[in-house]
Amino acid sequence: MTDSRTLELSKALINQPSVTPEDLNCQPMMIDILEPLDFKCETMQFEEVRNLWARRGTQGPLVCFAGHTDVVPPGPVEEWDNPPFAAKVIDGMLHGRGAADMKGGIAAFLAATERFVKNHPDHKGSIAYLITSDEEGPSINGTVKVIEALEARNEKIQMCVVGEPSSSKLCGDTIKNGRRGSLGAVLRVKGVQGHVAYPHLAENPIHLAMPALSEMVAEEWDQGNEFFPATTFQISNFNSGTGVTNVIPGTAEVVFNFRFSTELTDAELRRRTHAIMDKYGFDYEIDWKLNGHPFLTAEGSLVEAAVAAIKDVTGLDTELSTSGGTSDGRFIAPTGAQVLELGPINATIHQVNEHVSVHDLEQLTVIYERILENLLVGQ
């Protein structure tokens, strides 16, 4: 049996071992597909990261497909039932690193675009692709830099579909119409090293920090809202000591993270954290890193078009959700664009034997095509 266009493209992309920040031949393959469709393709290289900006049309509204060609490392190859970069269909499932996150989604983008342009060559508005090879890495020289370049020349995305695997149990059952913000920090507490038998001559930084950290854990930062759960605080690392039992350490380092809703700002979280620390009067410093602001597309033409497309193709009443981690949507939403994430089932992403249903990819292709029709074809 001949592969469908979506499956053919998925396999071709998976077979590129594009472990972040490498793209290898993924974006050149996309350019070869998009240029014959009258897309103007622009490679944007920032440091070691290759990015693609491709656009068909000059008028608004501009509907953008966004995603990434880089994947996480496969881990021990011998643990895979099939080589991670040799795509293979097994019992209706496409196996390979990136099948779900998110080369299958990119393939569905491309196949949907081909069909849409063939059927509607004179569609209104514009279609664009914003593709990076830096999403699974530090996300410094990828989407954020492309957005900066577009903003500098006043090229505005009105609506953006990010192809991240958003579905839970059935293709299309969940749309991510927002994401929580992420604020990370490294807390360094200074004490005085000494012998455990003479604690009065030392200051234990672990003991100094514990009451403040306990208060941080117990604090109700907010109550969330109808779209976001309450803000959470989690300690991810706590390092101190010399490795022996008879020495009070001189320093302690605590790594923590907030996942926060639109009820709070990162500035407010920093202020409240420092207020708690200062209350206990110990010597400390905090290095902060804002990984992304929360964003939300509560309603609008994009959400309406996607909900209608999913209902039409699958019969499902999709759920709007803001759960999960961050995505590159956090760089696009602040420009004023409507942003949502819609992709295949996320059950096996970043796992050994990552796979996705071939049937789901076909459904996803039709959903993307229908979204374009809903937005860019006159009534």
The residues annotated with a catalytic role in the active site are 70, 135
Cis peptide before 210 (omega within 30 of 0): no
CA neighbor of 364 nearest in space, from 131, 135, 165: 165
Q: Which residues make Cβ contacts (< 8 Å) with residue 118, sequence separation at least 6?
A: none
Radius of gyration of the chain (CA): 24
Cα–Cα dist 219/206, whole Å: 20
24: how many CB neighbours lie within 10 A of its CB? Answer: 18
Tokens at 296, concatenated: 């939300």
Q: Where are the alpha helices (DSSP H) in the chain?
A: 5-14, 26-34, 104-119, 143-152, 205-218, 266-279, 301-314, 329-332, 358-376
Torsion-angle region of residue 88: left (phi > 0), alpha (psi -120 to 50) or beta?
beta
CA neighbor of 18 nearest in space, from 121, 124, 97, 91: 97
